[in-house]
Amino acid sequence: MIAAPNSVDAEVWPEGSLEVLSQREVDLLKSGGAGGLYPLLRRCLLAVLTSGNESDGAKEVLQKYSDFEVSFIQQDRGLKVSLKNAPADAFVDGRMIRGTRELLSAVLRDIVFTHHEILESGRFDLDSSEGITDAVFHIVRNAGLLDVPARVNMVVCWGGHAISRDEYDYSKLVGYEMGLRALDVCTGCGPGAMKGPMKGATIGHAKQRISNGRYVGITEPGIIAAESPNPIVNSLVIMPDMEKRLEAFARIAHGIVVFPGGVGTAEEILYLLGVLLHPDNAGQPLPLIMTGPASSQSYFRQIDEFVAATLGAEAQKHYEIIIDDPRAVARKIKSRLDEVLDFRKQHGDAFYFNWRLQVAREFQRPFVATHESMQDLDISEGLPIHILAANLRRVFSGIVSGNVRDDTAERIELHGPFQISGSGRIMTMLDKLLAAFVLQRRMKISGKDYDPCYVIK
């Protein structure tokens, strides 16, 4: 039934993931009070119902659909989701698009599972590194990401949502070349460089008559409204926070390709380099290639210079930069996956989940960006390299939060921009890098109007 020109009222059966809930689970999903999951559920459902949205303004999306409501109908046949004033673009001739329905079901599955089985059950020690990794494993396993028998062909692609058309088209070409080589793609599931590789891979898979190509999107509640899942995602996972999201990427990846981006991409690069720099990960192959068109050469030069100035030459050994050659990127990542396969076989490690990778607690502890937490970050010269990488990662994470999370944006509106301080040399390099991101319109899709949420001191 049409409720308004741009909204629809509908009842939908969840598909293939969570048709039956207990009464207590339903009550929590309905509740907006303390401990209730309704605000989180509504936010995530609205994000998937606006799949393909090119805006990165979470507040704008939430305001545009302020009258959107969700309720549940318990029937003998199972659970039915009732939507009121849902975005009309999620429907065709009154029926919800099949892919959107699958993403909606994934939201229900992950929110309920994470709350009841991970956070509430007491089964996982979320204060220990091992307990956190175990929780990450159970979430991605419950989402059906761990194929058995597994193939060593999952390439995680990172990159920004606010990129140029030239960079987007290049990411599609790389995805196409990877698809021709039967490689699957995992991204942060949003627009831009998160969509391009998937779009290209669909064509490569189609040409090779690969009907089971996997296009995995991993997100978290704080950013999903700003980076709604792109329509190509056929496996969506919502991790409870950014740190578990990053660990999930690292654990399921067989190789990683980084496209141009902004602070979010810099955060991902620093996270991975910090993990790989840990002494316990010496010798473990996890190929990392940074790539973009010729127009992006200066971007990667700036990233490389920043890494060299902060983490040193040892960090630079963990990646390769290939400019303007999609076929070379695909060939290189494909050949490097043979090293990963041999290593996993030699050490008896699982193909579908990298258990041997050591992720230090500094990279697992959830970081909430507040004025106090940002000001308290230790960015000094004498820190161990992997600890410095962890703290620099938090700097970029806080700026991402200020750019895309509505709750963080409200704090900044009330108290002014974040104050970031530390070693004078590193602050100079950081300021230079961030200024370049602003100049190149890499902070937000509406880059020219960007008002920095930070001050470098």
282-304 residue pLDDT tens? 889 999 999 999 999 999 999 99
Low-confidence ranges of the chain (pLDDT < 70): 1-5, 15-21, 33-35, 52-59, 75-78, 445-448
The pLDDT score that the predictor gives to residue 54 is 60
Amino acid identity of residue 114, one-letter, is T
- Residue 267 is predicted with a pLDDT of 95
Model-level pTM? Answer: 0.91
* Topology at the third CATH level for domain 128-457: Rossmann fold (3.40.50)
Cβ neighbourhood burial of 424 (10 Å; 0-12, 13-18, 19+): exposed
Task: Specify the pLDDT at position 3.
Answer: 43
Q: Which residue has the tokens 């100035």?
A: 309
For residue 457, the model assigns a pLDDT of 86
Instruction: Note the pLDDT of residue 55.
Output: 57
Structure tokens given for 149: 């028998």
- Amino acid, res. 323: I
Return the structure tokens found at 397: 């994470």
The rounded distance, in Å, linking the Cα atoms of 59 and 446 is 14
Q: CA distances (Å), 372 to each of 139, 326, 364, 389, 453, in order? A: 31, 43, 20, 20, 14
Whether the Cβ atoms of residue 113 and residue 141 lie closer than 8 Å to each other? no
pLDDT (0 to 100) of residue 235: 94
Cα 20 from chain centroid (whole Å): 28
Q: What is the pLDDT of residue 447?
A: 47
pLDDT of 71: 87
pLDDT of residue 36: 78
**What CATH number is given for 2-123 in this structure?**
3.30.1850.10
Q: What is the pLDDT of residue 150?
A: 81
Q: Where are the domains of the chain?
A: 2-123, 128-457
